[in-house]
């Protein structure tokens, strides 16, 4: 018996390309499909989580939203990896800078994803697992970013379960002290699912706001203007084939 459609994705494996770009916002998925993909077609819209497949420079690429937070991206990435034959997921999202080395609109490639989440507890490991990106995908993306001349940083992200935390300032300072570059809410679960499924993943994040300086972008800017990150992810998908 086929494992599709799943409860959250009404499609078949043939509807998805081997590489999927995964923004959090469904409207950002729609923006990428409409502005960068040729012959884009809607392949999923369950719960308004829009997924599209089309061609980028002749290479099949899919883009589908993940929703917000690790439980949400955990569901969608698990189903894509396990039931739809997706090999690589590139998260394209926003992050808040924790380091004074970063500026708003800089791009961060998440080499690793620290987390305050208990997501890894399900695996019953006798220790602490370090969620990391696939090195080959990270290397490819970093090389392309350099060729494109983009302001890019490679290092640790913090994947947080709490957007409004009681001890947010103290916690952010503690993570920053350990060299964590920026905070977001999805990468760790994506990396853990990829590891468990034997697949590949990378989080590519644009700095939408700076925790230290208070500088920020609007929700509309985050939806429509992070085009350098989108092109970087698409060029990475193209290189992966």
* CA–CA dist 240, 217 (Å, integer): 31
Tens-place pLDDT, residues 30-49: 999 999 999 999 988 878 78
* CA–CA dist 160, 7 (Å, integer): 26
Catalytic option among 15, 85, 143, 209: 209
**C-alpha distances out from residue 13 to 86, 91, 114, 134, 193, Å:** 8, 20, 31, 23, 18
Token pair recorded at residue 126:
């006798």
Predicted TM-score (pTM) of this structure:
0.94
Q: 209 an active-site residue?
A: yes
Taking 60 as the threshold, does the pLDDT of residue 78 lie above it? Answer: yes
User: Residue 225: pLDDT band by 50, 70, 90 thresholds?
Assistant: low
Query: 194-208 burial, b if ≥16 CB within 10 A, otherwise e?
Result: bbebebbbbbbbbbb
Beta strand 38-44 pairing with 51-56: antiparallel
The torsion angles phi and psi of 22, rounded to 5 degrees, stand at -130, 90
Cβ–Cβ under 8 Å, residues 61 and 107: no
Cβ–Cβ under 8 Å, residues 107 and 148: no
Token pair recorded at residue 90:
């590139």
**For 199, which DSSP code?**
-
Beta strand 19-22 pairing with 59-64: parallel
Tens-place pLDDT, residues 191-211: 999 999 999 999 999 999 998
Cβ–Cβ under 8 Å, residues 8 and 79: yes
pLDDT at 6: 78
Q: 101: Cβ–Cβ under 8 A, 6 or more apart, which residues? A: 153, 181
CA quadruple 75, 152, 224, 96: dihedral positive or negative? positive
Q: Which whole number is the average pLDDT over 16-20?
A: 97
Tens-place pLDDT, residues 113-168: 999 999 999 999 999 999 999 999 999 999 999 999 999 999 999 999 998 888 87
């Amino acid at each position: 018996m086929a494992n599709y459609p799943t409860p959250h994705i009404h499609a078949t494996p043939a509807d998805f390309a081997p590489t999927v770009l995964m923004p959090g916002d469904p409207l950002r998925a729609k923006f990428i499909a409409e502005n960068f993909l040729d012959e884009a077609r809607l392949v999923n819209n369950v719960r308004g989580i829009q997924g599209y497949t089309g061609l980028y420079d002749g290479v099949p690429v899919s883009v589908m939203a993940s929703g917000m937070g690790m439980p949400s991206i955990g569901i969608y990435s698990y189903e894509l990896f396990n039931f739809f034959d997706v090999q690589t997921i590139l998260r394209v999202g926003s992050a808040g800078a924790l380091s004074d080395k970063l500026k708003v609109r800089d791009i961060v490639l998440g080499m690793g994803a620290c987390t305050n989440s208990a997501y890894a507890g399900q695996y019953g490991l006798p220790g602490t697992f370090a969620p990391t990106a696939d090195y080959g995908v990270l290397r490819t993306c970093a090389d392309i970013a350099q060729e494109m001349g983009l302001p890019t940083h490679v290092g640790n992200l913090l994947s947080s379960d709490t957007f409004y935390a009681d001890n947010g300032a103290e916690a952010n300072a503690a993570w920053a002290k350990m060299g964590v570059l920026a905070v977001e809410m999805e990468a760790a679960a994506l990396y853990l699912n990829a590891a468990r499924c034997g697949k590949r993943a990378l989080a590519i994040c644009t700095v939408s706001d700076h925790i230290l300086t208070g500088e920020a972008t609007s929700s509309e800017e985050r939806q429509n203007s992070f085009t350098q990150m989108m092109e970087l992810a698409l060029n990475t998908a193209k290189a992966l084939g």
